[in-house]
């Protein structure tokens, strides 16, 4: 292994460790010694690769965006049916059906986006990539005759994404009036109405049950 590849491997390990610390303690609780302990290295090793904590947090944010978007894309690719792809994408964006740690990292980074143009651009890129996924599945659904929205696909995608972000924010903020299944039900009912596509709620409940059954068999 070359020194360059060793350095890359070390940085990836630190990014993962820092992300877990952010998820557990929040940005306000991040300390170099905690990241080092999580990664199993010395604080000096962390500072060798990341003399500035800001640079490490930027890489954590970038990794969280990539992981979240690609996980949702992978779920969509399990089916050609736009209805399945839409519902699968929704489920894959709601903890615990997605990695709760990644979701917490993304919402923690909102605060940094208000003070840093680089973090703000990462938040914007997250929006663009998620919006693009929704537009694609909506356009495919219209083309195949499953969806019949009265608004343009880009506008529908914007509305769906806005509702999703708000619901998930309340969920990770421990809103006692919501749980994962209520979030998904609320969102999918709205999607049924705006897309004029009945059966999405029933489909989402079946996919969640299938997922739970599969996890029970693996346990």
The pLDDT of residue 14: 96
Could you give the number of structural domains in the chain?
2
Is the pLDDT at 168 greater than 90? The verdict is yes
Residues 6 or more apart in contact with residue 20 via CB below 8 angstroms: 38, 101
Model confidence at 6, pLDDT cuts 50, 70, 90, reads confident
What mean pLDDT is predicted for residues 2-16? 82
79 and 87 Cβ atoms separated by less than 8 Å:
no
Cβ-based neighbours of 76, under 8 Å, separated by 6 or more = 85, 88, 89, 92, 133, 137
For residues 135 and 36, membership in a common domain is answered with: no
Where a domain ends, among 35, 51, 67? Answer: 51
Kindly report the average pLDDT of the chain as a whole number: 92
pLDDT for position 218? 67
Q: For the beta carbon of residue 86, count every other beta carbon within 10 angstroms.
A: 28
Q: State both tokens at 117.
A: 């143009």
30 and 97 share one domain: no
Q: What is the pTM of this model?
A: 0.89
Average pLDDT over residues 169-174: 91
Q: Which residue has the tokens 């059966």?
A: 199
Q: What is the pLDDT of residue 151?
A: 96
Do 88 and 149 sit in the same domain of this protein? yes
Residues 40, 63 share a domain: no
| Bond preceding residue 207 cis, omega within 30 of 0 | no
Choice among 35-49, 54-68, 100-114, 139-153 with the minimum mean pLDDT: 100-114
Q: Is the pLDDT of residue 164 over 70?
A: yes
Is the CB of residue 126 less than 8 Å from the CB of residue 164?
no
**Is 126 in the same domain as 172?**
yes
- Residue 142 belongs to domain spanning: 55-218
- Mean pLDDT value of segment 149-170: 95
Give the pLDDT mean for 1-9: 69
pLDDT in tens, 172-197: 889 999 999 999 999 999 999 999 99
Q: Are residues 180 and 95 in contact, defined by beta-carbon separation less than 8 angstroms? A: yes
Q: Would the pLDDT of 34 be above 60?
A: yes
pLDDT mean over 129-153: 97
């Amino acid at each position: 292994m070359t020194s360059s590849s060793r350095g890359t491997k070390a940085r990836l390990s630190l990014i993962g460790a820092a992300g877990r610390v952010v998820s557990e303690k929040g940005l306000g609780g991040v300390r170099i010694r905690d990241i080092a302990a999580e990664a199993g290295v010395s604080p000096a090793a962390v500072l060798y690769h990341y003399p500035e904590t800001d640079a490490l947090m930027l890489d954590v944010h970038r990794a969280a965006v990539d992981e979240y978007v690609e996980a949702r894309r992978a779920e969509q690719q399990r089916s050609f049916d736009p209805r399945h792809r839409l519902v699968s994408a929704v489920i894959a964006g709601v903890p615990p059906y997605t990695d709760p740690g990644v979701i917490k990292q993304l919402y923690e980074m909102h605060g940094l986006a208000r003070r840093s143009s680089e973090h703000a651009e990462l938040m914007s890129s997250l929006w663009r990539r998620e919006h693009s996924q929704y537009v694609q599945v909506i356009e495919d659904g219209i083309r195949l005759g499953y969806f019949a929205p009265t608004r343009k696909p880009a506008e529908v995608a914007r509305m769906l994404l806005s509702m999703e972000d708000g619901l998930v924010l309340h969920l990770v903020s421990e809103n006692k009036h919501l749980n994962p299944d209520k979030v998904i039900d609320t969102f999918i009912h709205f999607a049924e109405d705006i897309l004029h596509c009945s059966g999405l709620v029933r489909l989402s409940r079946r996919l969640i049950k299938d997922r739970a059954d599969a996890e029970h068999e693996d346990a």
